[in-house]
Amino acid sequence: MSHPIAIEVPPPPLERRRRGTKKFRWRISTLAAPIAAYLFLFFIVPFGVILWYSFGFKPSLYGTHDNSVLSFDRYAEVFGNADFFAIFGKTLWISIFGAAVTLLIAYPVAYWMAKILTPRSRNIVLVLVLIPYWTNFLIRTLGWQIALNQNGFISRILQDLGLLNGPLEFLYTNQAVQLGVVYNYLPLMILPIYVTLEQLDWRLLEANSDLGGNAISGFLRVTLPLSMPGIGAGLMLVFVPLMGDYITPEILGGTKGTMVGQLVASQFKTAQNWALGSAMAITLMLFILAVVVVSTWILRLGVRIAKRANRIVLPELVIEGK
């Protein structure tokens, strides 16, 4: 039985097989059609809808939006509003400062994980970093609210130790929001830096010390430049959601608005002014997009400059080594 079948079905000739592959390739790009349709329907179109709303106005006390007269007035309202500007500036400051502090805390942790720990304990620590990250964002923030409460245990301990005269007045301040965002986005900084450091070829550091470099020059000339992709990814991953954060300031910052996310939300939820809310949301999104594009560009430029600088430095090292 097997013999005649083997003759009847020879391996497909080369030409036919190639054609088959070509046909497969054509089909393969259509595999992306469902996600494209989905994103069109639930990302592009809804965005188009709020873009449209942002050119309208709030018609009456109970109406949310009206597009019978189109104008840029809502954007003028956004940019002319001192409160919006103040909160936007505050948000930007919290985001930049938060991303910087997160980086300073995360880098040594990631370095410790990638360089000092053994591969086995490294995976355990990785899971330990992920567990708080996978705990509900809102619940984690509530944990801080409980701890930092005026009548919470930290307040009581500090008072018992005599370090504090009255109750702890930390919750519902900008500093509390700052602490909350640094905490909430820390894993998003640790992980990408860890991934780049883990893939780093540590023999380069040995080469540096063989060539007479010390630990500091090794870090500045080898480790730091090579971990730039991770740092860049981490800064993006922290900065972007931080700019739009709404939960952390609501829980730790109290009722007075501290961040733009709260302003956007309040226009839709309480003020019922969808036109103005849309204009704010679009302004926020365009701003974040601009930051992402510009900083990616700066980062690429920085890496290029660092590479060029290293190329000049290396021969000097050789001479020093001798």
Partner 1 sequence: MTTVGIESSQSGIPTQERRAPVKAGKVALWIWGIIGLLFLFFPVLVIIAYSFNSGNNLQIWEGFSLQPYLNAISRPDLLAPVGVSFRAATGSALLSAILGTFAGIALARSQKSRWLPALVGLLGLVMVTPEIVNAVSLLPWFVTLGKDMGFVIFNDGIVRLVVGHSLFSSAVVTFVVRARVAGLNPQLEEAAADLGANPLRRFIDVTLPLIAPAAVSGALLSFTLSLDNTVLSSFISVANSNSWPVYVWASVKSTLRPEIAAMSTLLLLFTILVLVIVALVLVRASKRTGGDDANLSSMLG
Measured from the CB of residue 109, what is the shortest distance to partner 1 in angstroms?
4
- Contact of 279 with 77, CB cutoff 8 Å: yes
Nearer to partner 1, 11 or 162 (CB): 11
Measured from the CB of residue 311, what is the shortest distance to partner 1 in angstroms?
26
Measured from the CB of residue 7, what is the shortest distance to partner 1 in angstroms?
13
The answer to whether residue 12 forms part of the interface with partner 1 (CB under 8 A) is: yes
Q: What are phi and psi of 79, to 5 degrees?
A: -80, -20
Contacts of 59 (CB under 8 A, 6+ apart): 65, 66
Contact pick of 140, 238, 253, 275 for partner 1 (by CB under 8 A): 140
By CB under 8 A, the residues from 199 to 228 that bind partner 1 are: 199, 215
Q: What are phi and psi of 57, to 5 degrees?
A: -155, 170
Q: Give the C-alpha separation, 208 to 215, whole Å.
A: 9
Measured from the CB of residue 195, what is the shortest distance to partner 1 in angstroms?
5
Measured from the CB of residue 312, what is the shortest distance to partner 1 in angstroms?
25
The answer to whether residue 261 forms part of the interface with partner 1 (CB under 8 A) is: yes
- Contact of 264 with 281, CB cutoff 8 Å: yes
Residue the block writes with tokens 């601009």: 290
217: its two tokens: 């020059």
Contact pick of 75, 97, 111, 172 for partner 1 (by CB under 8 A): 111
By CB under 8 A, the residues from 148 to 167 that bind partner 1 are: 149, 151-153
The 10 Å Cβ neighbour count of residue 57 is 20
Contact pick of 78, 243, 275, 317 for partner 1 (by CB under 8 A): 243
The answer to whether residue 170 forms part of the interface with partner 1 (CB under 8 A) is: no
The answer to whether residue 9 forms part of the interface with partner 1 (CB under 8 A) is: yes
How many residues sit in the footprint of partner 1 (CB under 8 A)?
Answer: 102
Contact pick of 1, 7, 30, 68 for partner 1 (by CB under 8 A): 30
Q: Per-residue x/- marks for partner 1, 274-293, CB under 8 A? A: x--xx--xx-xx--xx--x-
Query: Percentages helix, strand, coil for the chain, rounded to the nearest 5?
Result: 75, 0, 20
By CB under 8 A, the residues from 81 to 110 that bind partner 1 are: 105-106, 108-109
Q: Give the C-alpha separation, 118 to 103, whole Å.
A: 23
Nearer to partner 1, 32 or 61 (CB): 32
User: Would you mind telling me the total number of residues written for the chain in this entry?
Assistant: 322
Helix (H, G, I), strand (E, B) or coil at 9: coil
Contacts of 182 (CB under 8 A, 6+ apart): 98, 101, 102, 105
Contact pick of 80, 89, 132, 315 for partner 1 (by CB under 8 A): 132
Contact pick of 55, 57, 185, 194 for partner 1 (by CB under 8 A): 194
- Contact of 141 with 251, CB cutoff 8 Å: yes
Distances (CA, A) of 165 to 146, 152, 159, 173, 175: 20, 15, 6, 19, 20
The answer to whether residue 68 forms part of the interface with partner 1 (CB under 8 A) is: no
Measured from the CB of residue 33, what is the shortest distance to partner 1 in angstroms?
8
Q: Which amino acid is at 147?
A: A
Per CB under 8 A, the segment of 82-90, 162-170, 234-242, 301-309 that binds partner 1 is 234-242
The answer to whether residue 76 forms part of the interface with partner 1 (CB under 8 A) is: no
Q: Which residues pair with 57 in a beta bridge?
A: 66
The answer to whether residue 53 forms part of the interface with partner 1 (CB under 8 A) is: yes
Measured from the CB of residue 251, what is the shortest distance to partner 1 in angstroms?
7
